[in-house]
Amino acid sequence: MQRLLRFVDGVSTWVGQLFAWLIVALTLLVSWEVFSRYALNHPNPWSFDLMIMMYGTAFMMGGAYTLAKNGHVRGDVLYRFFPPRLQAGIDLVLYIAFFLPGVIALVWAGYFYAAESVAINEHSTLTANGPPLYPFKIVIPCAGVLLLLQGLVEIVRCIICLRMGDWPSREEDVEEVDVDKLKAMVRQEPQ
């Protein structure tokens, strides 16, 4: 069971980290575009569409990754003081009450939305001869399915926690405030 959980975590993480490179690419693209427009006097009409698509794709595909790492913001004023079993119970109920209907609806709606876009071979209308828009819309159901899978894994985690009395472990990942790393950073600085 734990292996299956880890596997889905791994998939979400891998996809999320893959799409994280889009942010690096976006940085370079916009920087290049600015340079190209002002220094070379050669603006690219497709760049704005591309920027939006890169941003939208990056954050949508990162959703499951963030969920796998428990990174979505939660109001933890009370939550953090709850014993694990109560946490898991609340989470389980709310995953079923809120998460599943919301995300299933998103996948369902996103599927038809994207299918329609593919059917009419939709292109962006921001500029004349805009780039195709349907790959961007296909991202919605894809991100939704990934999120749904990860959500199911989280539900299983809740059930495990309810049984065992403690949360099953997660794979480690880079964290925003990693005290050990920050300590090392401060120490190794010369002077």
Partner 1 sequence: MKKEIWFGVIMLAAVVVGVLAFMPPPSEMSNGHLGLLMLALVVVAIMLGFPTAFTLMGMGVLFAWLAFHSRDPAVAWQQTLDLMVQRAYSVMANDVLISIPLFIFMGYLVERANLIERLFKSLHIAMARVPAALAVATIVTCAVFATATGIVGAVVTLMGLLALPSMLKAGYSTQLAAGAITAGGCLGILIPPSVLLIVYGATAGVSVVKLYAGAFFPGIMLAALYVGYVIVLAKIKPALAPPLPEAERHLALPALSEQLAAGGARRSALAGLAGALRSTGVPRGPVLGQMGVVLLPALAFVLIMGASYRLVTSPVVVDSAAAGLEFSSADEAPADASGASPAAAGGDAGLAEPPASDALSEPPPADGLAEATATATATTTAKTVTATTAAAAEPALTPAEKMAADGERRPAPKAFWITLGIGAAVLLAFYARFNFHRVEIFKMMLGSLFPLAILILAVLGSIVFGLATPTEAAALGAFGGILLAAAYRRFNLPMLKESSFLAVKTSAMVCWLFVGSSIFSAAFALLGGQELINAWVLSMDLTPLQFMILAQFIIFLLGWPLEWTEIIVIFMPIFIPLLPHFNVDPLFFGLLVALNLQTAFLSPPVAMAAFYLKGVAPPHVTLNQIFLGMLPFMGIQVLALVLLYVFPDIGLWLPRVLYQ
Phi and psi angles of residue 123, each rounded to the nearest 5 degrees, phi first: -120, 155
Please identify, using beta-carbon distances, which residue of 52 and 118 lies nearer to partner 1. 52
Burial code (b: 16+ CB inside 10 Å, e: under 16) for 97-122 equals eebeeebeebbeebbebbeebeeeeb
Residues 27 and 6: their CA atoms lie apart, in Å, by: 32
The site string for partner 1 over 102-131 (x = CB under 8 A, - otherwise) reads xx-xx-xxx-xx------------------
Applying CB under 8 A, does 157 fall inside the site for partner 1?
no
Strand-pairing partners, residue 132, are 123
For residue 140, give every residue at least 6 positions away whose Cβ sits within 8 Å of its Cβ, in sequence order, or none: 60, 106, 110, 113, 114
Applying CB under 8 A, does 176 fall inside the site for partner 1?
yes
Q: What is the dihedral of CA 73, 77, 81, 84, to 10 degrees?
A: -30
Please identify, using beta-carbon distances, which residue of 1 and 39 lies nearer to partner 1. 39
- In angstroms, give the least distance from the CB of 160 to partner 1: 18
- Show contacts with partner 1 in window 32-91 (CB under 8 A): 33-35, 38-41, 48, 51-52, 55-60, 62-63, 65-67, 69, 71-83, 86-87, 90-91
Applying CB under 8 A, does 16 fall inside the site for partner 1?
yes
Which member of 10, 98, 164, 171 binds partner 1 (CB under 8 A)?
98
